[in-house]
Amino acid sequence: MDEGCFAHPAKAKASNCFDCMRPICVVCLKLHGSHDYCPECSATIGRKVLRRRVVLGVLAASVCLTLVLGYALYGNPFRYGAETFAVLDLAAEVKKEPCDRAKVLALAETYLRVMAPRECLALTDQYLAACGDWPRLRWPRFTAPAL
């Protein structure tokens, strides 16, 4: 004779729980996707799904918040493509030490690489005006495409 449901021994087994393999009757059977589960495992799955949704929701919200904040602080965060963070980091460094030649040059070259000649010219103008002449900084100006 077939075994009965683990919770209702009098009822015939309809399936086995996909997780704990216990026999379950039609009353106990819960369907998740294409698998049968007992009520206990079904509750666990429900909690897992819920937790995953909460985690995803929090992640999505924080990504959006970062983008909104970034947008507010720096303008369009996508304008420098993959180098956005390199550009923003360097720009912040240069803001702190506007006459640090290595940083200014690195930023100018990065601007050129990401096709931002306007920013490159503004940066070199600002350096030349504030920190005196530096011939090395004049070359990116020649390679900058015409505005």
Residue 30, strand partner residues: 37
Residue 90 one-letter amino acid: L
Helix, coil or strand: residue 9:
coil
Examine residue 32 and tell whether it contacts Zn ion (CB under 5 A). no
Q: Which two tokens stand for residue 139?
A: 């070359």
State in angstroms the smallest separation of the CB of 1 from Zn ion.
Answer: 17
State in angstroms the smallest separation of the CB of 25 from Zn ion.
Answer: 3
How many angstroms separate the CA atoms of 137 and 143, rounded? 11
Q: Tell me the window of 37-45, 55-63, 85-93, 108-116 that interacts with Zn ion (CB under 5 A).
A: 37-45
State in angstroms the smallest separation of the CB of 50 from Zn ion.
Answer: 18
Tell me the CA distances in angstroms from 16 to 12, 21, 68, one per residue in order: 11, 5, 49
Q: Site for Zn ion (CB under 5 A): how many residues?
A: 11
| Residue 42 vs 124, nearer CB to Zn ion | 42
State in angstroms the smallest separation of the CB of 20 from Zn ion.
Answer: 3
Whether residue 31 contacts residue 15, with contact meaning beta carbons closer than 8 Å, is answered with no
Q: Which residues bind Zn ion (CB under 5 A)?
A: 5, 7-8, 17, 19-20, 25, 27-28, 38, 41
